[in-house]
A and B are shown apart, each in its own frame.
Chain A
Amino acid sequence: MSAAAPILAVEGLRFAYAGGPEVLTGVDLTAARGELLCILGPNGSGKSTLLKCLLGLLEPAAGKVELAGKPRRRYGALALARILSYVPQSTRVAFSFTVEQVVMMGRTPHMNRLGLSGELDRRVAAAAMEMTGVTGLASRPLESLSGGEQQTVMITRALAQQPQLMLLDEPTSHLDVRHQLDIYALMAKLAHEWGMAVVCVSHDVNMAARFADRLVLLSNGRPAAAGAPAEVIRAEVLASVYQVEVRLADVGLGVPMVVVGEGKEKLEK
């Protein structure tokens, strides 16, 4: 990977919901252009909270979040939207929009004050659809598509925003294995071929290990391990974070497959 300056730099990030315990207890991470970073961790480890802090939906209690070398707070909403885009876990659209309309919505931060698109907006949207292979679906209503297609369209929308950094929140959690594979391959392509920094919160250790350039494993609101997949996918690390018995199997994919054995209670007996 290129040794470019990180587009995202997080240092000592802390957050607590009002009156509750600290959910993030000091997170450090960076993401550079051209790399796919997956954030792993058990439920409640702070993955989604971290993503919300990065998006600016939650205001961290302490620590700093820098985007392209500038504190996130110093960006206006529009300036932020031009370098960072977001793909949610799933989308339920209230009204019937076509694929093309949804993708064009990604151009919103680039449109004029009346929200009208220009020639460049339309060209970029068309190019984004071509890249992710949804051009053929352009005039279909979003809700008539399968879950995998919908998620691809939402990624296309985020792509049309022309960000330097794309954040995704468990984008494959509702998808079958085939579509999970497609989405991970697409995220890797966004990073490697189109030079974007892609940060994806994930539950799927194996998919993340296979496609990501780097992994961050969160545990109790802080990284328990971070680095290349081979450094993070270690039986003793995963076992202590997820509280399960873990075996690693080499199936010739370059990274070991994680196979989960007995849960903590049985282990203790």
Chain B
Amino acid sequence: MTLAEIPRPIAPAGELTGRSILRTVGVLAGVLVVVAALCASIGQQGWMWPWASPARLARVAAAMTVGAALAVAGATLQSLLRNGLADPYVLGVSGGAGVGVLAGIVIFGGATWAGRTGAAAIGAGATMGIVYLIAQRRGRLDAYSLLLSGVIINTLAAAIMATLYLFAQPGELKLYINWSLGSIPDAPAGDLLGVCAAATGAGWLWLAARGQAFNVQSLGDDVATSSGIHLTSLRLQTFCLAGVLTAAAVALAGPVGFVGLIVPHVCRMILGADHRRLILAAGFIGAIFLVAADTFCRSTVLQFGQELPVGVVTSFVGAPFFLFLLRRRLREGYL
């Protein structure tokens, strides 16, 4: 008697179907549209129709892109590295971008926004290449060595930046610090926004389609391989795409903190660990979260005398909410 011959029509109740995933996507997309429209209509001078200000719409789109990119990169990297503490910057992207920007400011006086974006992209690309070369062995990527080389390259980048501080003027340092806290630009260049949004969307969908492979690789390399998963290819795809997503976010807004670390955890706590839904949901929830946080930054300029960096707001809002979820899970007896 084989398994399939045994008549047991009872399906596992919790197994995801295409329909249940689509339902989640529908609900989250609806919430995102409502939140984005609401946020686009809030300004310093009160309410206005969302389409009345194209610049503000662009800023909302930029915030959505950055939030989705960081959350998806964080979710997939945490899974790939089997480590809940991983965030999008663990591959050295932020460190490299930081060196690029600081060097641009100090050496070339590259104070324009476009110059900073270019310097960030070059720095991020270079460090990712170095991290890959260190971590790979004959083309195969090992999760642990990837994590380690990312951490070490970030440390090295911090040392380079500390050296550059010594040669920086106070004004240049202030410029760098503002960039490093991460903020959504007020009038993002249309081309850059388009490229980053397209890259984010493509990377997001590609990674989401690999959801079941991420699920199985959580059980360990040997089980994943014996389930027919090409681990080398999965790792390479994740490394490259998470890198592209992170670089897109950093190019648009600088290294915004917290979103990429916390949003995946929040999604897991609410929706469970199944990556087929998690990766899709993380993109939406990241976008919703960052649009809301950025709107708060925009609309409180007068109260604070200057715009708060969005990275600061995400931490202030995200940390207590995360602790609330954490405590609830601990009370239920497990993490």
Q: Which residues of A line the B interface, CB within 8 A?
A: 52, 55-57, 77-78, 80-82, 84-86, 88, 91-98, 100-106, 108-109, 111, 113-117, 119-120, 122-131, 138-139, 141, 143-144, 154, 157, 159-162, 167, 193-195
Contact = CB atoms under 8 A, between A and B. Distances in A.
B323 interface: no
A97 B18 CA distance: 19
Given A94-B82, A97-B273, A98-B272, A111 B212 contact: yes
Contact of B219 (A91, A127, A138, A160): A91
A101 B274 contact: yes
Contacts of B84: 94-95
Contact of B228 (A77, A100, A129, A143): A77
B4 A116 contact: no
Contact of B213 (A55, A115, A193): A115
A77 B230 contact: yes
B108 interface: no
B235 interface: no
Contacts of A160: 3
Nearest to A119: B11
Contacts of B229: 77, 108
A81 B225 CA distance: 8
A105 B17 CA distance: 14
Given A86-B226, A117-B16, 6 more contacts: A52-B222, A57-B225, A85-B227, A94-B218, A109-B227, A111-B212
B218 A95 contact: yes
Which of B11, B79, B334 gathers the greatest number of chain A CB atoms within 10 Å?
B11
For chain B, the bracket of interface size reads 35 or more
A139 B332 CA distance: 14
Interface in B193-229: 209-213, 215-216, 218-223, 225-229
A143 to B, nearest CB: 7
B136 to A, nearest CB: 17
Contacts of A157: 219, 223
B12 A138 contact: yes
B335 interface: yes
Given A57-B225, A88-B223, A105 B216 contact: yes
Given A88-B223, A96-B268, A126 B12 contact: yes
Nearest to B209: A114
Contacts, number: 162
Interface of B: 1-4, 6, 8-18, 21, 78-79, 82-84, 209-213, 215-216, 218-223, 225-230, 268, 272-274, 276, 333-335
A115 B3 contact: no
A123 B4 contact: yes
Contacts of A104: 12, 15
A39 B103 CA distance: 61
A115 B226 contact: no
Contacts of A52: 222
Instruction: Identify the interface centre among B15, B209, B274: most chain A CB within 10 Å of its CB.
Output: B15
A105 B334 contact: no
A133 B228 CA distance: 26
A94 B79 contact: yes
A143 B314 CA distance: 31
Contact of B216 (A108, A139, A143, A144): A108
B282 to A, nearest CB: 13
A254 B223 CA distance: 35
A69 B168 CA distance: 70
A115 B218 contact: no
B8 A126 contact: yes
Contacts of A77: 225, 228-230
B219 A105 contact: yes
Nearest to A128: B3
Contacts of B82: 94
A55 B226 contact: yes
9 contacts: A78-B228, A81-B228, A94-B79, A96-B272, A96-B335, A102-B219, A130-B8, A144-B334, A162-B4
Nearest to A120: B4
A164 to B, nearest CB: 10
A161 B227 CA distance: 8
Closest 9 CB pairs of A and B: A115-B212, A81-B228, A94-B82, A122-B11, A86-B226, A95-B273, A109-B228, A78-B228, A100-B12
A97 B79 CA distance: 12
B200 to A, nearest CB: 20
A94 B335 CA distance: 11
A120 B6 CA distance: 11
